[in-house]
């Protein structure tokens, strides 16, 4: 027989406090047992859901580590969103096609925004005449016909306001630019009208229905063309410094096509469309074509206004490449500060980010975007030295201007980079989808090769890592 000490040890070693706590309480009724077992079942299910969620999060984090991560940087109006759309068109054409009709609404809003600017200038002219000399002879170039045109087009403004409030979820969005919150929710809201067309709509719903806007635009097409082509209106716009042709999202010259009832946006139209995103937006997609189709990309687009640049730093971590857009708009100043030249501001941003040690291993790719706009201004005889005195008496042609600024960016890149790295730059025209696709293909291949090298998966035939 085992001695007393052995029996005691055996008894203690078999004691399980957890098992005791899980035992049913004494005198438990059948109803209490059912409730207890159901609570235990739910607790187990919650635990499994948590474990599954954690496992999925780990998979997502691991997948993101192996994905290609790109950060789009540049001023507001530099063309970051257009470059992103070109990425979509070049490498995910099927996905791009599903959003074509969504961009139709944005283009219609862009057109109405231009009309809104014209009507605002006309209204200012009429108010100035009434305020300054109500009894004086009317010497304005505007006539009763202009008042008729303005009155016939004014209903468009209500549609613009309603749709802007719908997709921005913010009644204070206002202004002349389509403004949305980060994420694709605004696209779903526009698309939802097509899916629920058979449902009864309130008057407010109808004013926010993109199909209603299309019909009103088609009905007003002739009036829009007449207003825009009117000589007196053009002179008044120029006198007040309003140059609509230089605005992003300018479609007045295409009114006959864009305002047609059967209008379907061309690729170039979608690239030209103007929409402003408040805050930071991350876009994830898997390439359908191009170098190494099936590669997962995460492209982060951050707000370029000067007041938001302090928020860029948290997004520098773990980026394989930065695409920096710098339109050579030497004749423009910042909207936030009219004393700061746009190109000089781009140079200062470039100097700061290439010198940032958090980005020492990040590839930088400089895009001199909006090449077509630069060519138009040079062809019109706009002198560079008037806006950039340091340009001096160099030739006032596109090649010389591009080289001058390229050398400036290259010098900063060489001087301030924490470690030596190649200076890579391209000249792009966002609305030229074919040439931009070729450039983006080269960019994609270069980024992926560098990324795979970092992941230790590119080797030479001899087995040595490149």
**Numbered residues of the known binding site for GTP:** 369-372, 430
| Burial of residue 176 (number of CB atoms within 10 Å: 0-12, 13-18, 19+) | middle
Read off φ and ψ for residue 428, nearest 5 degrees.
-130, 155
Read off φ and ψ for residue 67, nearest 5 degrees.
-80, 165
The torsion angle over the Cα atoms of residues 262, 268, 274 and 279, rounded to 10 degrees, is 120
Nearest to 406 by CA among 348, 366, 354: 366
Strand stretches in 106-195, DSSP E: 179-180
| Burial of residue 21 (number of CB atoms within 10 Å: 0-12, 13-18, 19+) | exposed
DSSP characters for 263-275?
A: ----HHHHHH---
CB atoms within 10 A of CB 359: 20
CB 370 within 8 A of CB 401: no
Binding-site residue set:
277, 369-372, 430
Binding-site residue set for Mg(2+):
277
- Give the whole-angstrom CA distance, residue 402 versus residue 227: 37
Strand pairing partners for 323? Answer: 72, 365
């Amino acid at each position: 027989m085992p001695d007393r000490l052995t029996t005691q040890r055996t008894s203690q070693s078999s004691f399980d406090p957890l098992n005791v706590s899980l035992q049913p309480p004494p005198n438990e009724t059948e109803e209490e047992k059912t409730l207890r077992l159901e609570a235990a079942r739910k607790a187990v299910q919650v635990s499994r859901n948590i474990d599954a969620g954690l496992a999925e999060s780990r998979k997502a984090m691991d997948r993101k580590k192996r994905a290609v991560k790109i950060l789009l940087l540049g001023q507001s109006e530099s063309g970051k969103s257009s470059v992103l759309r070109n990425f979509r068109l070049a490498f995910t054409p099927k996905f791009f096609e599903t959003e074509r009709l969504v961009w139709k609404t944005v283009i219609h809003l862009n057109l109405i925004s231009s009309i809104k600017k014209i009507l605002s200038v006309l209204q200012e002219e009429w108010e100035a005449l009434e305020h300054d000399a109500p009894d004086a002879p009317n010497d304005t170039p505007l006539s009763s016909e202009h008042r008729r045109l303005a009155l016939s087009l004014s209903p468009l403004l209500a549609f613009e306001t309603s749709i802007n409030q719908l997709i921005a979820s913010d009644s204070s969005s206002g202004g002349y630019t389509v403004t949305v919150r980060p994420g694709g929710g605004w696209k779903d809201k526009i698309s939802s009208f097509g899916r629920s067309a058979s449902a009864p709509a309130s008057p407010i719903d109808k004013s926010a229905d993109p199909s209603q806007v299309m019909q009103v635009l088609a009905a007003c097409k002739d009036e829009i063309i007449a207003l825009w082509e009117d000589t007196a209106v053009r002179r008044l716009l120029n006198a007040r410094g309003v140059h609509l042709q230089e605005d992003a999202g300018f479609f007045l010259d295409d009114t006959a096509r864009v305002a047609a009832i059967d209008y379907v946006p061309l690729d170039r139209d979608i690239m030209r469309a103007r929409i402003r995103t408040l805050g930071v937006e991350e876009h994830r997609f898997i390439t359908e074509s191009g170098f190494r189709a099936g590669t997962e990309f995460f492209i982060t687009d951050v707000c370029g206004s000067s007041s938001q640049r302090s928020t860029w730093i948290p997004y520098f971590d773990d980026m394989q490449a930065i695409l920096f857009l710098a339109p050579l708009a030497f004749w423009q100043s910042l909207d936030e500060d009219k004393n700061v030249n746009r190109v000089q501001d781009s140079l200062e941003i470039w100097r700061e980010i290439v010198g940032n040690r958090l980005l020492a291993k990040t590839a930088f790719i400089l895009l001199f975007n909006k090449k077509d706009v630069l060519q138009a201004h040079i062809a019109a005889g706009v002198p560079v030295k008037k806006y950039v005195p340091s340009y001096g008496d160099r030739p006032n042609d596109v090649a010389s201007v591009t080289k001058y600024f390229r050398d400036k960016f290259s010098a900063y890149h060489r001087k301030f980079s924490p470690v030596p790295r190649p200076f890579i730059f391209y000249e792009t025209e966002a609305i030229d989808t074919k040439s931009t696709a070729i450039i983006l293909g080269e960019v994609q291949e270069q980024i992926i090769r560098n990324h795979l090298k970092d992941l230790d998966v590119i080797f030479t035939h001899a087995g040595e890592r490149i």
